[in-house]
């Protein structure tokens, strides 16, 4: 990875790039960045889970993450996460030109990332970096989504074959694709923390 080139590309788009050698350093940064007492939303990101951040944040902040509550209580958590002061996520792919790509099923994550939460923190492992947008979308479809479908026990072709069949399944987790070119109008700050380790899918 060319840190300088990626940093310039992200900063030119209005994102706030930071680079870390490992996930522990990124987690330490986030714990200092988000003030005590703040509200923090998150989705079911494997990358975020691997940092161990959410339990640490929950000691002194209000954390809303559906992945840590029972199914029947998730609706309220989705709503609270979408209205939090901060949102922590990863991306399915990041291009060398600084664009952030995500595919979602319920769109709770991409909805929060696009509107309603003023401060966003992306934590992205080096495995998510791709040369361009077609490669980023290909990665989201043929690497991230099949592994997530399998993890979530979805009845989709990719959960069996490991490859996207562009399905029309009721269990499809690829209902929305977002490309963040820049922070959106009402966002205060979008941090992109790039970690030189593999994180998530």
Query: Which residue ranges make up the site for ligand SF4 (CB under 6 A)?
Result: 141, 145-146, 149, 156-158, 164-167, 169, 172-174
Residue 47, Cβ density class (10 Å: 0-12 exposed, 13-18 middle, ≥19 buried): buried
Nearer to ligand SF4, 73 or 155 (CB): 155
Q: How far is the CB of 73 from ligand SF4 (least distance, A)?
A: 25
Nearer to ligand SF4, 98 or 105 (CB): 105
Q: How far is the CB of 138 from ligand SF4 (least distance, A)?
A: 11
Residues in the chain: 201
Left if phi > 0, otherwise alpha if psi is -120 to 50, otherwise beta: which for 18? beta
What is the enclosing helix (H) or strand (E) of 31? helix 23-33
Nearer to ligand SF4, 37 or 170 (CB): 170
Q: How far is the CB of 154 from ligand SF4 (least distance, A)?
A: 6
Nearer to ligand SF4, 166 or 186 (CB): 166
Nearer to ligand SF4, 36 or 168 (CB): 168
Residue 34 contacts by C-beta under 8 Å, 6 or more apart in sequence?
A: 40, 57, 61, 86, 119, 121
What is the enclosing helix (H) or strand (E) of 37? none
Q: How far is the CB of 124 from ligand SF4 (least distance, A)?
A: 20
Say if CB 99 and CB 130 are below 8 A apart: no
Q: How far is the CB of 171 from ligand SF4 (least distance, A)?
A: 7
């Amino acid at each position: 990875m060319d840190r300088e080139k990626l940093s310039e590309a992200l900063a030119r788009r209005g994102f706030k790039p930071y680079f870390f050698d490992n996930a522990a350093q990124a987690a330490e940064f986030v714990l200092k960045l988000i003030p005590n007492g703040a509200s923090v939303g998150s989705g079911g990101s494997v990358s975020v889970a691997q940092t161990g951040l959410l339990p640490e944040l929950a000691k002194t902040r209000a954390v809303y993450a559906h992945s840590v509550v029972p199914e029947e209580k998730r609706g309220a958590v989705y709503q609270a996460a979408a209205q939090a002061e901060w949102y922590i996520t990863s991306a399915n792919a990041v291009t060398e030109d600084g664009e952030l790509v995500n595919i979602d099923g319920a769109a709770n994550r991409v909805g929060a990332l696009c509107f309603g939460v003023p401060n966003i923190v992306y934590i992205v492992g080096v495995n998510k970096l791709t040369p361009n947008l077609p490669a980023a979308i290909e990665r989201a479809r043929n690497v991230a989504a099949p592994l997530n479908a399998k993890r979530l026990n979805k009845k989709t072709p990719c959960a069996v074959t490991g490859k996207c069949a562009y399905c029309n399944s009721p269990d499809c987790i690829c209902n929305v694709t977002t490309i963040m070119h820049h922070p959106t109008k009402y966002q205060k700050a979008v941090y992109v923390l790039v970690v030189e380790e593999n994180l998530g899918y």
